[in-house]
Structure 1
Amino acid sequence: MISVVILGAGNVATHLYKAFKASDNVVIKQWYNRHLERIRSYSNEVDISDDISQLVEADVYIIAVSDDAIAPLSEQLPFENRFVVHTSGSVSAYDLDKKNRRGVFYPLQTFSKAAKVDFSQVPICLETLRKTDYMPLKRLAICISDITKRVNSDQRAALHLAAVFVNNFTNQLYRVAHEITESQGAEFDLLKPLILETAQKVQDHSPFMSQTGPAKRKDKKTIKKHLKLLDNAQHKEIYKLLTASIQHTHGR
């Protein structure tokens, strides 16, 4: 049995709480947040606290807060030589206060509080500054996920950057597509099978091999028609930029 204390009450913290709660091999000793109202609804399930001086002892302390708050919160911890990790993809493990043993427990997924997540399919990227801390952290990870990976800081930073492209930027493109369809009274829902097929295709083939469309074909007539249809100047620039990128990638 591995004991944990969760610090923070955002999307990642909430999903981690639910995943740990569902595991037979993890006991959540305490859930801390500086604003108790954010976690009060869980008070019948777990010990909650807004007093950092009263943190209980646990095997692992998981800081799941915004990137800028990680270092200050780790400095406030009222103990030394315990195992403290954060969940960020872009913050160094060295940003945690050196009075404690340090590591990273990075779930590589997008989290929204309202959306259910199957944590067994969420890759958890692990990093520790001490070699002896890695196996305890891995044991915690495999309690909730079937996919764990040891990464170094550079690899984690690259994964986080790539995640912005495949998730945040892609979602913004969905928003652009939604605006385009709305402008003509077309149904965005008709694009959803295409969205799913595009995502499914890269499960079996590389993004390079999966690329299709007028940019790859260098279909100037269609590209020109599309640009003419776009009234929004920003959408037009996005179209031009991505078209140029695809043509550069595929030697067009």
Structure 2
Amino acid sequence: MISVVILGAGNVATHLFKAFTKSDEVQVKTWYNRDIDKLKSYKNDVYITNNLALLKEADIYILAVSDDAISKLSSALPFENKFLVHTSGSVSVHTLDKKNRRGVLYPIQTLSKDAEIDFSNVPLCLETLEKTDLKTLKNLAEAIDSPYYKISTEQRLTLHLVAIFINNFTNQLYRIGHEIADAKHIDFNILKPLILETANKVQNMSPYLAQTGPAIRNDEKTIKKHLKLLENENYKEIYRLLTHSIQQTHGRKKL
């Protein structure tokens, strides 16, 4: 049995708690948050507190808090030589206070609090300063059926950057598309099979080979029609930038 303490009450903390409670091999000893009201709905499921002095003993203490809060909270912990990890994609393991053993448990997945998540589809990036602690994190990942990878701080930061492109930026393009469709009274559901097919294609082929559309075909007439149709100047600039990027990638004539 692996015992854990969770610190934080955001999306990552909430999904980790749910995954841990589904496992017979993990026990959540304490769930801490500065604002305890955010945890009250779980008070019958786990011991909750907003007092760091009341944290119970555990094998792993998980700081699932904002990047800016990691250093201060790790310094405020009232113990030493425990195994402490954060869940950030962009913060160095060395940001954690060195009075404790340090590591990182970074989930590569979009986590919204109200969306159900199967952790077998959540790769975990693991980093520790001590080999024995890496084994502990591997055991924790296996206990919730997550695939895991040993990743350095530099690799993790790069993964975080890539995730911004393929997740956050892509979702913003979905939002823009939704707005444009909605303005013309077009049901966005019509486009959802296209979204799924695009995601499915890159499971079996490279994004380079999966590229389609007027930019790769150098279809200038269609491109000009699209630009004329766009009324928002920011969206026109995004269209031009991405079209230019595709044409550069595939050796097509520039827009």
Q: Structure 2-normalised TM-score?
A: 0.98
Query: Residue 79 of structure 1 aligns with which residue?
Result: 79
Distance in 2 (CA, whole Å) between partners of 1:182 and 1:27 is: 47
Cα deviation digits, residues 185-210 of structure 1 (max 9, x gap): 11111000000000000000000000
Q: Moved runs in structure 1, 4+ residues, more than 3 A? A: none
Residue type matched to 1:171 in 2?
N
What's 2:133 paired with? 133
Contact residue 124 and residue 145 of structure 1 kept, 8 A: no
One-letter amino acid of the structure 1 residue matched with residue 87 of structure 2: T
What displacement does 1:146 show?
Answer: 3.4
1:60-113: CA deviation from partner (whole Å, max 9, x where unpaired): 000000000011000000000000000000001000000000000001111111
Q: Partners of 1:251 and 1:131 in 2: how far apart?
A: 47
Secondary structure of the residue aligned to 2:90 is: coil
* C-alpha contact (below 8 Å) 1:123/1:145 kept by paired residues: no
Report the number of matched residues: 252
Per the alignment, residue 191 of structure 1 pairs with 191
Give the letter for the 1:208 counterpart: Y
Q: Distance in 1 between matches of 2:31 and 2:89?
A: 22
Partner in structure 1 of residue 202 of structure 2: 202
Give the structure 2 partner of residue 221 of structure 1. 221
**Alignment partner of 1:92 is 2:92:** yes
Output aligned runs, 1:173-184, within 5 Å.
173-184=173-184
Aligned to 1:13: 13
C-alpha deviation, 1:31, in angstroms: 0.4
Residues 7-55 of structure 1 show CA distances to partners (whole Å, capped at 9, x for unaligned) of 0000000000000000000011110001110001111111100001111
2:235 partner amino acid = H
2:67 maps to 67
Q: Which residue of 1 aligns with 2:167?
A: 167
- 3-state SS of paired residue (1:40): helix
> Equivalent residue of 1:158, what SS?
helix
Would you say 1:241 and 2:218 are equivalent positions?
no
Task: Give yes or no for contact 1:75–1:96 (8 Å, CA) kept in 2.
Answer: yes
Moved more, 142-151 or 163-172: 142-151
Give the distance between the partners of 2:186 and 2:140, measured in 1 at CA: 47
Q: Does the Cα contact within 8 Å between 1:2 and 1:27 map onto a contact in 2?
A: yes
Counterpart for residue 26 of structure 1: 26
Instruction: Quote the Cα distance in structure 2 between the aligned partners of 1:102 and 1:73.
Output: 13
Query: Which whole-Å CA distance do the structure 2 matches of 1:26 and 1:141 have between them?
Result: 10
> How much has 1:132 moved relative to structure 2?
2.2
1:37 maps to 2:37: yes
Q: Say what the alpha-carbon RMSD is for the aligned residues.
A: 0.7
C-alpha deviation, 1:145, in angstroms: 2.9
Instruction: Name stretches of at least 5 consecutive residues in structure 2 with no aligned partner.
Output: none
The letter for the 2-side match of 1:18 is K
Kindly provide the CA deviation profile for residues 145-204 of structure 1, in whole angstroms up to 9, marking residues without a partner as x.
Answer: 331111111111111000001110000000110111112111111000000000000000
Residue type at the aligned position of 1:115 = A
- Give 3-state SS (helix, strand or coil) of 2:113's partner: coil
Q: Give the letter for the 1:160 counterpart.
A: H
Q: Structure 1 vs Structure 2: percent identity of aligned residues?
A: 64
